[in-house]
Amino acid sequence: MVTAGLALGGPGRAASEESMKSDRPNILWICTDQQRFDTIACLGNSHIRTPNIDRLAAGGVAFTHAFAQAPVCTPSRASFLTGRYPRTTGARRNGQAIPADEVLVTKMLADEGYDCGLSGKLHIAPCQKRVEKRIDDGYRVFHWSHDPHPNWEENEYQQWLKAKGIVWKDIYQPKGRKAFAGAPAEHHQTTWCTDRAIDFMKEKREGPWLMSVNIFAPHHPFDPPGEYLERYDPDKLPDPAYVEGELDNKPVFQQVDHDGAYGGMLLGFSKMSPRERREVTAAYYAMIEQVDDNVGRLLKCLDETGQRDNTIVIFMSDHGELLGDHGMYLKGPHMYDCSIRVPLIISWPGRFKAGLRSDALVELVDIVPTLLGALGMEVPVRVQGKTLLDICTGKADAHKHRDQVYTEYYIGQPFHRKLRQRPMLTTVRTRTAKITSYAGMQIGELYDLEGDPGEQRFGEGVRGLVARQWQASALGHLAFEDESFLVHLTRPPSTRSRKHRSERRSATRSPPAAASSPRQSARRCPSPR
């Protein structure tokens, strides 16, 4: 890796090795799990309390249209840590490990002298009832806890509880499958995760550091500390955005998950009362408020140690949460904005614009080139993201970045694989329209986001929309060899009776004129556009 210059000085800036070590910013990278985009008070949610995240946004750049590259953890995390799309990394679903030859941005920075640490989850490899296998990820400090539950002996959060004499069953007694009070705040995994990050930030060192704070909340189960849950009255919260019958002509995966997420194991919208649905929303908001309090603790540590002015702070999430919208909960093969659109705030006092709101279409793969650019480092050709640095510094129009964003989903959960139709989805979204194709099934979804911003009127006005919005550049993203599938968007499929045509056809097919292997394709062409 070549260090070309520092921060905003550009590649021609001369600096000694000593000054570079002292001038390079620290990086505090906060990533929540399963937090949708519309859960921050200062960005429009009048029902939630997020004063610390609001303060961070007031001092930095808030991207209101940031999109994950997958609606589930592993492919999304592999993408934003490498700056590469799931079809490129080969990490395309949960339970599939990132290949050992992929290079995380933390490894790039460690090779440049950064001291890198992590607290919480990583989830770029399988971790069911075991600690996930690490590649050469660059982390010197690795406080790993995939989730709070005592399913792994190596779960450091559980080890922390045991060292304090805390018995898990005494502090965590789940009540049902919907929403309930979980562990108290002082013994909560979110607190533990933040404590480990603060310990790392207080260490004395000569060079810069990067700390990944990977909080599990507000991932299900929806179990905030009781003191937070009490702050939200379900009767004062809105109902989920759902129109009765809107799933009747949707793909079978949505109809199945309407009756019970995760193959019927959890949260069946159709089986819940309106009050129960609002109780889930209350618990979800309460979890985010606890996250906010811990963001405040992290920012206070930076202030008290005199590091705030020279620290880049990122706040984001890996993907969204349906939260009852469209009659479903949790996540899966569903490409609605509530699933793939996430919060993204980036702050660097004195270097990045303060209080800037950008509605540019951005992707999480854009974070890696943004960080490398801010540090004056060369961006490797393998990186597919597009830097946000000029927007953050005010050199570019804050509302223009990309014409479209791209998201993928490959098969995924076992309960969906059992269906005759296996979900392999590709989504392209512009500012005014969204198209989702289902590989091998000749069905899809198309929404006019100008006339139907809630994505509830499937297929309406589709012929004119296709003619106006979808040119070769958008179709190049899709896993089809021709445009013939578009005709099926004009008549919603009767998905319960449609015979599945192929298990995997086109799941890894490259865009037109690309190599046969997705990984080879990406290495030849750094960007799919």
Phi, psi of 472 (to 5 degrees): -60, -35
301 within some domain: yes
Phi, psi of 94 (to 5 degrees): -60, 140
Cα dihedral 416→417→422→425 (10° resolution)? 60
Phi, psi of 26 (to 5 degrees): -75, 165
Both 333 and 419 in one domain: the answer is no
Both 77 and 195 in one domain: the answer is yes
Both 173 and 269 in one domain: the answer is yes
The residues with which 345 forms a beta bridge, in sequence order, are 62, 315
Question: Residue 265 in contact with residue 200, Cβ under 8 Å?
Answer: no
pTM (2 d.p.): 0.86
Element (H, E) at 28: strand 26-32
3-state class percentages of the chain: helix first, strand second, coil last, to nearest 5: 35, 15, 50
CA angle (369, 373, 377) in 5-degree steps: 100
pLDDT tens digits along 465-484:
444 444 434 444 544 333 43
Q: How far apart are CA 52 and CA 258, in angstroms?
A: 35
Q: Which amino acid is at 522?
A: A
The pLDDT value given to residue 497: 31
Both 344 and 425 in one domain: the answer is no
Question: In angstroms, how far is CA 159 from the centroid of its own chain?
Answer: 28
Q: Which amino acid is at 484?
A: S
Closest CA to 319 of 30, 28, 32: 32
The pLDDT value given to residue 420: 64
Count of the separate structural domains present in the chain = 2
pLDDT tens digits along 264-310:
778 999 999 999 999 999 999 999 999 999 999 999 999 999 999 99
397 within some domain: no
DSSP secondary structure of 106-130: HHHHHHTT-EEEEEE---SS--TTS
Closest CA to 426 of 71, 78, 35, 64: 71
Half-sphere exposure of 183 (CA within 13 A, CB side): 21
The pLDDT value given to residue 128: 78
Q: What is the CA radius of gyration of the chain?
A: 22
Alpha-helical (H) ranges within 207-335 are 226-229, 252-259, 261-264, 274-304
Both 195 and 337 in one domain: the answer is yes
Q: What is the largest CA-CA distance in the chain?
A: 68
Sequence-ordered list of residues with C-beta below 8 angstroms from that of 37, at least 6 positions apart, any chain: 64, 66, 320, 337, 338, 341, 342, 343
Closest CA to 97 of 80, 68, 73, 70: 73
Centre a 10 Å sphere on the Cβ of residue 404 and count the other Cβ atoms it contains: 21
- DSSP reduced 3-state for 523: helix
* Two tokens, residue 212: 């990944």
Last-in-domain residue among 366, 392, 418: 392
Q: How far apart are CA 464 and CA 340, in angstroms?
A: 26
Last-in-domain residue among 345, 368, 392: 392
The pLDDT value given to residue 442: 67
Q: Which residue has the tokens 């097919």?
A: 509
15 within some domain: no
Cross-sheet strand order for the sheet of 405-410: 405-410, 424-429, 433-438, 443-448
472 within some domain: yes
Q: How far apart are CA 63 and CA 65, in angstroms?
A: 6
Both 168 and 54 in one domain: the answer is yes
Q: Which amino acid is at 387?
A: T
Question: Residue 63 in contact with residue 43, Cβ under 8 Å?
Answer: no
Q: Quick one: residue 180, left, alpha or beta (phi over 0 = left, psi -120 to 50 = alpha)?
A: beta
Both 338 and 422 in one domain: the answer is no
Centre a 10 Å sphere on the Cβ of residue 260 and count the other Cβ atoms it contains: 19
28 within some domain: no
The residues with which 141 forms a beta bridge, in sequence order, are 117
336 lies in which domain range? 39-392
Both 377 and 423 in one domain: the answer is no
23 within some domain: no
4 within some domain: no
Residues of the chain with pLDDT under 70: 1-22, 412-421, 442, 459-529
Question: Residue 497 in contact with residue 67, Cβ under 8 Å?
Answer: no
**For the chain, give me the number of helices (H) and strands (E)?**
19, 13
Centre a 10 Å sphere on the Cβ of residue 186 and count the other Cβ atoms it contains: 12
Q: How far apart are CA 64 and CA 58, in angstroms?
A: 14
Helices 274-304 and 51-58 pack at an angle, to 10 degrees, of 50
Cis status, amide bond into 234, omega within 30 of 0? no
Last-in-domain residue among 392, 427, 458: 392
Both 187 and 62 in one domain: the answer is yes
Both 358 and 412 in one domain: the answer is no
Both 449 and 323 in one domain: the answer is no
Specify the CATH number for the domain of residue 288. 3.40.720.10
17 within some domain: no
Both 438 and 306 in one domain: the answer is no
